[in-house]
Amino acid sequence: QSAPTQPASVSGSLGQSITLSCTGTSSDVGYYKYVSWYQKHPGKVPKLVIYEVSNRPSGVSNRFSGSKSGNTASLTISGLQAEDEADYYCSSYTNSATVVFGGGTKVTVL
Amino acid sequence: QVQLQESGPGLVKPSETLSLTCTVSGGSISSGDFYWGWIRQPAGKGLEWIGRVYTSGSTNYNPSLKSRVTISIDTSTNQFSLTLSSVTAADMAEYYCARETYTDYVATWGRGTLVTVSS
């Protein structure tokens, strides 16, 4: 299985909105609605920020939102804050009953 | 709430077998609709899904690792395990155990354990 493609890096200024993409195929991202997003700070455990494409876990800021169109899922972070600087990974169920992570995007807050 | 803790050798020799165990506390490994899985992250690289086991013992594995991986579950001890055979330097990583929901997201992560491959 090939990893969905994520941009290596995305940057934005404080208070700005940014959108991260996760482009897969009809066998993974486009197959079903089981796409999730994780935030990972260096040395820390990954944190779930979006599940099932657009659902936000309890306790996660409403500045995080998710969507999907075809084979591409997106994570939008609005009102960018310093603590949002981290690596972000998408994850998708596949038609082989496995899970695949995207390559990850490093978010830099300017 | 449910917590996960990885344990096992932090150093494995090349060509040998890596074995890790994840102990589940705060709940029964048999209750609820969850998968119990393993994910790793080599230094400086991204997350890689290794595979998972259900309470029935059925498994799903990453195709790229399938020939070398076994994940098993022991409901009597509330633990599940990972074995990875014929390790090389490419298998050096932080290994996380995870509780996955039926909609395929990780609801709970272990704290991670670093595995080094060296003679």
pLDDT at B80: 98
pLDDT at A50: 98
3-state secondary structure of B90: helix
B5-16 mean pLDDT = 97
A2-21 mean pLDDT = 97
pLDDT band at A1 (very low <50, low <70, confident <90, very high): confident
Locate the chain A residue with the closest alpha carbon to B102: A34
A&B contacts, CB < 8 Å: 66
CA distance, residue B118 to nearest chain A CA (Å): 22
Interface test with B, best of A37, A45, A58, A95 (most B CBs within 10 A): A45
pLDDT at B33: 85
What are A18's strand-pairing partners? A77
CA distance, residue A79 to nearest chain B CA (Å): 25
pLDDT for B25-68, tens place per residue?
999 999 878 999 999 999 999 999 999 999 999 999 999 999 99
* Token pair 């490994």: residue: B29
Neighbouring residues of A69: CB distance < 8 A, sequence distance ≥ 6: none
Distance separating alpha carbons of residues B19 and B16, to the nearest angstrom = 10
pLDDT at B29: 94
**Is A16's pLDDT higher than 90?**
yes
B114–A contact, CB cutoff 8 A = no
Please give the mean pLDDT across all residues of chain A. 97
* B chain contacts of residue A87, beta-carbon cutoff 8 Å: 46
Residues of A contacting chain B (CB within 8 angstroms): 1, 3, 34, 36, 38, 40, 45-46, 48, 51-52, 87, 89, 91-93, 96-104
Written as six digits, the tokens of A74 are: 């997106």
- Amino acid (one-letter) located at B3: Q
Contact A38 B51 (CB under 8 A): no
Distance separating alpha carbons of residues B119 and B17, to the nearest angstrom = 13
* Pair B37, B71: CB distance under 8 Å: yes
pLDDT for B63-115, tens place per residue?
999 999 999 999 999 999 999 999 999 999 999 999 999 889 999 999 999 99
pLDDT at A65: 98
B1-33 exposure pattern, b = at least 16 Cβ within 10 A, e = fewer: eeebebebeeebeeeeebbbbbbbeeeebeeee
Between A107 and A32, residue with greater pLDDT: A107
* A chain contacts of residue B37, beta-carbon cutoff 8 Å: 99
B9-30 mean pLDDT = 96
pLDDT for A44-84, tens place per residue?
999 999 999 999 999 999 999 999 999 999 999 999 999 99
Helix (H) or strand (E) holding A10: strand A9-12
pLDDT at B32: 74
Please give the mean pLDDT across all residues of chain B. 96
